[in-house]
Amino acid sequence: MNIGGILLALQGAASQGILWGVFVLGVYITYKILDIADLTVDGSFALGGCVCATLIVEHGMNPVLALVMATLAGLLAGGVTGFLHTVFEIPAILAGILTQISLWSINLRIMGKSNTPLLKSETIFTGMIESTGMKNSMAAAIIGLVIVIAVILILYWFFGTEIGSALRATGNNEDMIRALGVNTKVTKMIALMMANGLVGLSGGLVCQSQKYADIGMGTGAIVIGLAAIVIGEVLLGRVKNFAGRLIAVVVGSIVYFLIRAVVLQLGMDANDMKMLSAIIVALALCIPVVIEKYRSKRMYSEGGEEKDA
């Protein structure tokens, strides 16, 4: 077994986990805070990558500005889902599916082809690589970590504000917060736009890291996001404060990609990774339910025995 190859693979996996951590933070906002299963993210992730690649390659835009535009594109995609859900009262999951399907064609229109390489273009990581001589994966990990920390700090501040607290309350008890005079349609719109903005940013970062954008780069991304959230909760389940939960989400993303790298090094077919992700999520969701049912049944049985005695 090539130890050097494994370590190199783990380093690359850790850097990808950090960049995808921004995506997982976006999924966390809708799935955990707002309690909405938003499937827009598969399309908005690819949208961020496609917009970023096209602006850099075709228009020579600065990579940082391209990331800003990728974020804005994600915001717009989330706004479309929010508009369908809040204005026309289409169920959130269906609104997300409609936007996601539309984004496939839109992404293809943006690039004009199925993929766009960035091999000869500058990225946000190029300057650090050229000045220090470090590998792309290391530069991606460092810059990605800085961006992730900034995003966590911004989210921690935002959800401590009045509108952020209202958004969290919308996910916890929508009827109660509506009775207090809060327009839950506005909070849902903000959450969906914010979440997909982060997803678009992550798509742009991953695009610049892997040096290409692909029309299918977001396929199954929601499963990766859910798996990372579940893994983070399992590893850091005792953390109760909000900042700790945000950090746990990113840790889960890194661990997920490390697990995937190890599994691939052990010889698993890369085409089976989506299935592995689905199995991880299913087990993580099912096992706590099974344990709780077992405990309840055991307590009921012990209570019955004591009562009979």
Give the model confidence (pLDDT) of 56-68 as tens digits. Answer: 999 999 999 999 9
Backbone φ and ψ of 282, nearest 5°: -60, -45
Query: Which of 118-132, 228-242, 276-290 has the highest average model confidence (pLDDT)?
Result: 118-132
Query: What is the CB neighbour count within 10 angstroms for residue 10?
Result: 16
pLDDT confidence band for 183 (50 / 70 / 90): very high
- CA-to-CA separations, 273 to 100, 218, 219, 227, 250, in angstroms, rounded: 22, 14, 12, 12, 20
Position 306 confidence tier, pLDDT thresholds 50, 70, 90: very low
